[in-house]
Amino acid sequence: MRAIQQSAWGENEPLRLVEVEAPEPTYGEVLVEVRAAGVNPVDVYTRRGQAYNRVLDLPFVNGWDVAGTVVRTGYGVARFRPGDPVFGMPWFPRQAGGYAEYVAAPARHFARIPEGMGFSEAAALPLAGLTAWQMLAEVAGTAPGERVLVAGAAGGVGHLAVQIAKARGAYVIGTASAAKHDFVRALGADEVIDYTTTDVSAAVRDVDAAIQMFGGEAGLQALDCLRPGGVLVSGQAAWTPGLYERAADLGVRAVAFLVDPDGAGLEALAGLVARGRLKVHVDAMFPLAEAAKAHDHVAGGRTTGKVVLTVGGPE
């Protein structure tokens, strides 16, 4: 099969289109023919050697977000049959090999693609969608009437978090540059703040939960927005020195978060899509061979929504 393989840490030069052996499903696994693969910031960090290197060995095939069709099932799989359209985020943070024509992984790392959703949109949903879902539903326990701050509300995780929080009945405040305010409002945000011109920690107060995918000073400032006892769920806690000490001083909580593969969470996301409560915005699409260009697009830090690699076949 064709795959984008990396044999060194660094910039885009290590990304090479190669021929490798296709995987085989074992007990409890499915073999999926990949039609599209999502590209996430963590893919870029991984390529550079900035994340999860302890569980990845060179050479490896990057990528975790995939959507495609079940080709074969291993012994004991009852969830799917060959021909089923599925999407998932298998194995994270271990190698899934999403930038390839086939992926084999446990059946419970996937869910059925809801009717009417194309492979490209489905491939853009798993990692960012599960991150937003798990942060809000499982860690923060977001309930109707609560106030939620979503930092980077136009980004991959952010634009899904806004919609999920609204679906759970929350009042949502999003941060985004002025050019993206209309986009964030259209997602359902009740307020949008321009973080480039406004001190968010001064403008936003008494939120029950803050969803933060940035580290450093921005992560610390998000703590000031919380009500006493509120919670910051941070995807970058490891890169935010002093986070827990500052949270303790303010009487709030800070939780470090890393997304898990989760078939039940994927099914919850699919349900929201099917009911018209959640829509993925695909900012750009690249063919598999242009994975390096897709990484450049994501690394630019100005993506609205998600970036996708098309791997094979029509939508």
Domain ranges of the chain: 2-125+280-310, 128-256
What lies within 8 Å, CB to CB, of 42 at 6+ separation is 51, 52, 64, 93, 127
Read off the pLDDT band of 76 (50, 70, 90).
very high
Residue 53: the pLDDT is 56
Rounded to whole angstroms, the Cα distance separating 299 from 302 reads 8
Residue 61 pLDDT > 80, yes or no?
A: yes
Residue 295: the pLDDT is 95
User: What percentage of the chain reaches a pLDDT higher than 90?
Assistant: 86
Residue 219: the pLDDT is 85
Q: Is the pTM of this model over 0.85?
A: yes
Read off the pLDDT band of 234 (50, 70, 90).
very high
In CATH, which of 3.40.50.300, 3.40.50.720, 3.30.70.20, 3.30.750.24 is domain 128-256? 3.40.50.720
Contact at 8 Å (CB) between 36 and 311? yes
Contact at 8 Å (CB) between 315 and 120? yes
Reference 254, options 287, 229, 217, 218; nearest CA is: 229
Residue 216: the pLDDT is 84
Residue 124: the pLDDT is 98
Q: Express each pLDDT in 114-136 by its tens digit.
A: 999 999 999 999 999 999 999 99
Contact at 8 Å (CB) between 123 and 35? yes
Rounded to whole angstroms, the Cα distance separating 89 from 36 reads 12
Read off the pLDDT band of 314 (50, 70, 90).
low
Fold of 2-125+280-310: Quinone Oxidoreductase; Chain A, domain 1 (3.90.180)
**pLDDT, mean of residues 172-198:** 96
Residue 51: the pLDDT is 66
**Can you give the length of the chain in residues?**
315
Mean pLDDT of the chain: 94
Residue 184 pLDDT > 80, yes or no?
A: yes
Q: Where are the beta strands (DSSP E) in the chain?
A: 2-6, 15-19, 29-39, 60-61, 66-73, 85-88, 102-106, 110-112, 147-150, 171-175, 191-193, 207-212, 226-234, 253-256, 282-287, 306-310
Based on its alpha-carbon atoms, the radius of gyration of the chain, rounded to whole angstroms, reads 19
Alpha carbon distances (Å) from 222 to 180, 192, 306, 310: 20, 15, 24, 36
SS (H, E, C) 258-313: CCCCCHHHHHHHHHHHHCCCCCCCEEEEEEHHHHHHHHHHHHCCCCCCEEEEECCC
Residue 293 pLDDT > 80, yes or no?
A: yes
Cis previous bond, 59, omega within 30:
yes
